[in-house]
Amino acid sequence: MGSGRTLRKHSHTRPIKSQGEKRRRTKVQRARLVKFGMDEAVVKKMQPEDVRVLVQRPVKVKKMLAKAAAKPAVEAAAAKPAKAPKAAAKAPKAAAKAPKAAAAKAPKAKKAAPQKAE
């Protein structure tokens, strides 16, 4: 008994995608992005390919929106310390840089010593 091509053939063809269905799908995808929290005006200006990519990764969209929401809060917080004296703000930064630089150089010296011994 054979298992050739005649037994694997399907008697139907794939349906043709219509433009109306495509418009419906893109409309639904744009509505999903708005439900995630994106601005409707921004979503309207986006290309269909970009909308499709974002809809596929809803977790990334939510993280992106959370970062965007946190950014104005950080900028507002950064604006308040800017009124403080500049000399006081520079001192902690310089002190923070010094230990990091010393710590970064120490492991390099240790790595170099065993290579010379070998």
| Series of mean pLDDT values for 10-residue runs along the chain (118 residues) | 70 82 95 92 93 92 88 72 55 57 53 54
What is residue 97's predicted lDDT score, i.e. its pLDDT? Answer: 59
Whether residues 30 and 68 share a domain: the answer is yes
The pLDDT of residue 117 is: 53
Buried b (16+ CB within 10 A) or exposed e, 47-74: eeeebeebbeeeeebeeeeeeeeeeeee
Do 68 and 101 reside in the same domain of the chain?
no
Structural domains counted in the chain = 2
| Pair (22, 78) in one structural domain | yes
| 78 within a domain of the structure (yes/no) | yes
The verdict on 94 and 58 lying in the same domain is no
CA atoms of 3 and 1, how far apart (whole Å): 7
Whether residue 102 sits in one domain with residue 55: no
φ, ψ dihedrals at 18, nearest 5°? -100, 155
**The Cα angle at residue 110 between residues 108 and 115, in degrees rounded to 5:** 100
State which residues form the domain around 117.
84-118
In a domain, 22, yes or no: yes
Q: Is 3 a domain residue?
A: no
Q: Are residues 45 and 74 in the same domain?
A: yes
